[in-house]
Structure 1
């Protein structure tokens, strides 16, 4: 499944809007970080969630960039941290941290996809709707369906256990083959 173009209009469903905000905010902050790293730009972004919660990103910090913006006419005197910031070691550290961030974002996306896949599989399971209610609230027919489902699950479990036992035995045999030679 590839990406598809999303029409630019406000998302009507509030929960979908919150999910969209979170994903887009992460992407926006990532792009701002890339801009700051690649171009040595000072960047600050402040956004408010649909719920009114503020989120900010700043490079080198939100405070430094805002201070510089507010004092545009006044030349800023270099501070010790600003003088030390451009050392080769700092650049290596920043590259290393950016690499780690990219790796973690990829892992997070993979985990999200796994979660979505598991949710889809969960809804496909016959009888899964019975797992949503407490057993005491199930009717006799639903209880019988649940029993049938559980028995089928148990049979699949035993079958899988047998397969694993056979595989384990074959693996042991492949590692320690039995010889046909008679001992003298």
Structure 2
């Protein structure tokens, strides 16, 4: 009996360089981001650590993970890295963060308002179409 040996390459180290193919880059980013967030979550659970993680995608979308929240972790970091900051400076930083949050909420509000306007126009068009159909049905009956 002859034994046939199979030669495999096995697991190989991936060379660390930027990917050129856009679709592969996006898929890899998503998978790695999920893994990174999972590890951060495990660190919080196992060690009781407070973790803040902010990631910008290749398409400039922002993703964040924070425990207990990203704002809490960032504020704690800023106040610890600025031990000589005055109370006024810290209050100014907090006001700036609230303003950034308010801007984000305003963007969402504008988006939802535009969507609501489009849906209202669509509803009006459907009402008019319904009137036309009802008129045609009443004409057929006579």
Relative to the length of structure 1, the TM-score reads 0.38
Relative to the length of structure 2, the TM-score reads 0.48
Q: Which protein has greater RCO, CA pairs closer than 8 Å, 6+ apart?
A: 2
